């Protein structure tokens, strides 16, 4: 809240309407929440789909 209201100078109504993805982008996280290709590949190796899935 301090970042949104203080640093970004958002009014409270605008701050509370932000989605988590929008807030992350405003904080400088341009990647968002999705894993990049290498991270996804590593997760797929660790947790492969089963034959019955």
- Tell me phi and psi for residue 44, to 5 degrees: -65, -35
In a domain, 25, yes or no: yes
In a domain, 52, yes or no: no
Residue 10 in tokens: 């958002």
Residue 6 in tokens: 């203080």
pTM of the model: 0.51
Q: What would the pLDDT profile of 4-48 be if each residue is shown by its tens digit?
A: 889 989 999 999 999 988 888 888 876 656 778 998 899 899 999
CA nearest neighbour of 18 among 4, 29, 32, 28: 4
In this structure, what is the dihedral angle of CA atoms 9, 14, 15, 21, given to the nearest 10 degrees? Answer: -110
**Residue of 53 and 52 predicted with greater confidence:** 52
- Distance, in Å, from the CA atom of 47 to the CA atom of 43, rounded to the nearest integer, reads 6
Count of the separate structural domains present in the chain: 1
Instruction: State the residue range of the domain holding 34.
Output: 2-46
């Amino acid at each position: 809240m301090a970042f949104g209201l203080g640093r970004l100078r958002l009014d409270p109504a605008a701050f509370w309407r932000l989605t988590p993805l929008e807030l992350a982008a405003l904080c400088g996280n341009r990647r968002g929440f999705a894993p990049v290709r290498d991270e996804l590949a590593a997760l797929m190796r660790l947790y492969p789909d089963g034959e019955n899935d």
